[in-house]
A and B are shown apart, each in its own frame.
Chain A
Amino acid sequence: MTLAAAAGTAAHATTTTAAAGTHGFLSPTGVEIAFLLVGLVTFGAAVITVTTRQLVHAALWLVVALGGLAVEYLLLTAEFIAWVQVLIYVGSVVVLLLFGLMLTRAPIGRSPDADSGNRPVALAVALAAAGTLVWVVTDAFRTTWIDLDGAPAGSTDVTGASLFQHWVLPFEALSVLLLAALVGAIVLSRKAKADAASDAADTRRDTEGTR
């Protein structure tokens, strides 16, 4: 074990080939089996999200897909990203989507027109893209293994240090972008309300004029 680690640190260029000798396709580790099972759940939930005809169920299956992705991040030892995923996606984005569904008066039951007419074309495009991407990715990374032993690669300590040492300027720019998005969302919703009020006043004036 120490010999393999020493060899790995000595020759970084040959790490993947050396690792390929110790790993096998037909002997998956426990982490790989867990990743595969959670990945199947995630993918199934994503498929149900884009195919179900009940709009609220789509949002709830999206919770399952995003939570499964958070578990995948945990299995990849990226803890901080996993909890950020849980907080932001499962906590706020899905709640926002549910609010949007309710504010646009989405039907509760099955809605027959959830899918548009170009469904076969979309299916063909998605299947072609999936086939191409999966083929290219498996062909490119056939002999590449992630080393998950040792300290976690994405603990809060590591992520915070790299974020505030090397990525401070993008971080601050992102805070400005979030502020702009906040103001933009408020302006958009306020303007719509003012429009509705002025339109109501216009129609009232019009009807009074015709009378």
Chain B
Amino acid sequence: MHLAYPAVLSALLFCTGLYGVLARRNAILVLMSVELMLNAVNLNLVAFDVWLSRTAEDTLHSGQALALFTIAIAAAEIGIGLAIVLAVYRNRGTSDIDKLRDTAEGHEPDGPDSDTTGRAVPGSRTAGEKAEATA
């Protein structure tokens, strides 16, 4: 098989995931796009490992071992990421990453409504969190 087939497919999948990460607004859709990017990397690892295991004398099968490690790390990442998204949803009532602008610097580009609500709610939440942390 020509090596360009898996390589080109992997590049296209990676760029699809890149578009999804940049263009999506829901945090869970962003996580799905990250999964697509990780899978593109896995396809590259497996294809190059199969190629090199035929051409090289002795091989460690490092590509397939790294692909397995990437799959395991992606599973851990999706678990932690979903836990964080659910915690944010419980605290803020939204999983919209465009509205989570508490650490944004400079002028506020979004409207005054999100400014007031976005200011009042996190203030009380962080105060409660600090009180609980000190208690």
- A and B, one complex? yes
The answer to whether B78 touches A97, judged by C-beta atoms less than 8 angstroms apart, is yes
Query: What residues of A have a CB within 8 angstroms of the CB of B79 in the complex?
Result: 96, 181-182, 185
Q: Tell me whether A12 and B56 are in contact (CB under 8 A).
A: yes
Count A/B pairs, Cβ under 8 Å. Answer: 295
- Contact yes or no, A147 B13, CB < 8 A: no
Chain B residues closer than 8 Å to A159, beta-carbon distance: 61, 64-65, 68
Asked whether B119 is an interface residue with its Cβ less than 8 Å from the other chain, the reply is no
Residue in A closest to B96 when the chains form the complex, CB atoms: A113
* Complex interface: chain B residues within 8 A of A181 (CB): 76-77, 79-80
Query: B57 in the interface, Cβ–Cβ < 8 Å?
Result: yes
Interface contact B24-A116, CB-CB below 8 Å: yes
Q: Does B25 have its Cβ within 8 Å of any Cβ on chain A?
A: yes
Residues A116 and B1 in contact, CB atoms below 8 Å apart: no
Q: Is B6 an interface residue (CB 8 A)?
A: yes
A158 proximity list for chain B (CB < 8 A): 61
Tell me how far the C-beta of B1 lies from the nearest C-beta in chain A, rounded to whole angstroms.
Answer: 5
Question: Which among A29, A31, A75, A192 has the highest number of chain B CB atoms within 10 Å?
Answer: A192
Are B69 and A170 within 8 A (Cβ)? yes
Return the contact of B4 from the options A137, A167, A185 (Cβ within 8 A).
A137
Contact check: which of A84, A116, A195 meets B129 at CB < 8 Å?
A: A195
A114 CB to closest chain B CB, in angstroms? 6
Question: Smallest CB–CB gap between A127 and chain B, Å?
Answer: 8
Given contact pairs A84-B71, A100-B28, A163-B68, A198 touches B128 in the complex (Cβ within 8 A): yes
Interfacial residues of chain A within 51-90, with CB under 8 A of chain B in the complex: 55, 58-59, 62, 65-66, 69, 72-73, 75-78, 80-81, 84-85, 88-89
Cross-chain pairs A/B with CB under 8 angstroms, 15 sampled? A42-B9, A43-B13, A49-B20, A62-B35, A66-B35, A84-B68, A85-B71, A100-B28, A115-B24, A116-B25, A137-B11, A146-B50, A154-B50, A177-B76, A192-B90
Known: A114-B25, A178-B75. 12 other contacts (CB 8 A): A31-B1, A35-B5, A49-B32, A62-B36, A72-B9, A89-B35, A144-B51, A146-B50, A154-B64, A163-B61, A199-B128, A202-B128
